[in-house]
Amino acid sequence: MPTPPSVRLAATDREAARDLLGHPEVAEVAAGLGITPTQLLLAWAIRPLDGNRDVIVIPKATRLAHVEQNAAALSVELDAESLARLDAAFPAPHRKTPLDIV
C-alpha cells in the first residue's frame, strides 16, 4: 500500500484526494459511523478544537446531492475512538507546513 498522502493535499491534488477517500482507516471508520468517507473527512477537518471551529474547508461539489452530503458533515459527531484512529492515520505536522498551490 502506498504511503498515506498528506491531508493538506486533499484540496489541490486529485490523486491525493482519491487516496484519502480510499484509505482503509477512513473507509472503516466511515462505515462504522454509517456515513460516507467524504462526510467523515469533512467532519474531522472542521471539528471544534478548544470550542472553536478554526478550519475552513471548501469542498468541491458539482451536484446538488454532493452539496447536501457535504452539508450533512456539519451534524456528524465523531467519538473519541474515531478521532484517535484518524489522528493516528494522519498525524498533524510538527512544524508549520505551507499548502501546495496547483
Read off the pLDDT of each residue in 12-28 and give the average, rounded to a whole number.
82
Report pLDDT for 83: 92
The reported pLDDT for the residue numbered 31 is 96
H helices of 1-102, in order, are 14-21, 24-33, 37-46, 64-72, 80-89
Are the CB atoms for 21 and 41 separated by under 8 Å? yes
Task: Look at residue 36 and tell me whether its pLDDT is greater than 90.
Answer: yes
In the prediction, which pLDDT does 46 show? 86
Dist CA 84 CA 68 (whole Å): 27
Pick from 4, 12, 1, 2: nearest CA to 85? 4
Which among 76, 14, 21, 69 has a CA at the least distance from the CA of 46?
76
Q: Is the pLDDT reported for residue 49 higher than 80?
A: no
Reply yes or no on whether the pLDDT at 35 is more than 60.
yes
> What is the model's pLDDT at position 69?
92
Query: Which pLDDT score, from 0 to 100, does residue 22 have?
Result: 87
Strand partners, 20: none
| pLDDT tens for each residue of 51-97 | 766 777 888 888 999 999 999 999 999 999 999 999 999 887 788 87
